[in-house]
Amino acid sequence: METRLIQYMRKTSAELWRNWQARSRLGALSLASVLVGFTVGNLLSTMLGENRWSGSMILAIVIGIEAFNALLRGGAAKNLRPSPFLQLAQYFKTGILFGLFVDAFKVGS
């Protein structure tokens, strides 16, 4: 006879194992995607820093990324797993935002 605790532990461990397997397949690509996004973010902030519209352009980039996140996470698609391409796109967006964030600290110092 299994208790509810044992059933819950088996269910949770199976779910964690499935998540681990899905993440391990995209491990190297996700790291590369974050690094490419970081490079793009640094290049964007360097190129945009040369004109007077740099703050507005970076704000537009951040708002665009957040709008994409809202579309991706909102609505009926909350319970669906994103495709591997969308997961890599999310890592790329994270890299861009991290690159802009690091460059903001370089400008401030």
SS (H, E, C) the chain: CCCHHHHHHHHHHHHHHHHHHHHHHCHHHHHHHHHHHHHHHHHHHHHHCCCCCHHHHHHHHHHHHHHHHHHHHCHHHHCCCCCHHHHHHHHHHHHHHHHHHHHHHHHHC
pLDDT digits (tens, 9 = 90+) for 37-95: 999 888 887 777 677 767 787 788 888 888 887 877 765 555 666 677 878 888 888 89
Whether residue 102 has pLDDT greater than 70: yes
pLDDT digits (tens, 9 = 90+) for 9-46: 888 988 888 877 766 677 778 888 889 999 988 888 77
Mean of the per-residue pLDDT values for the chain?
80
| pTM strictly above 0.75 | no
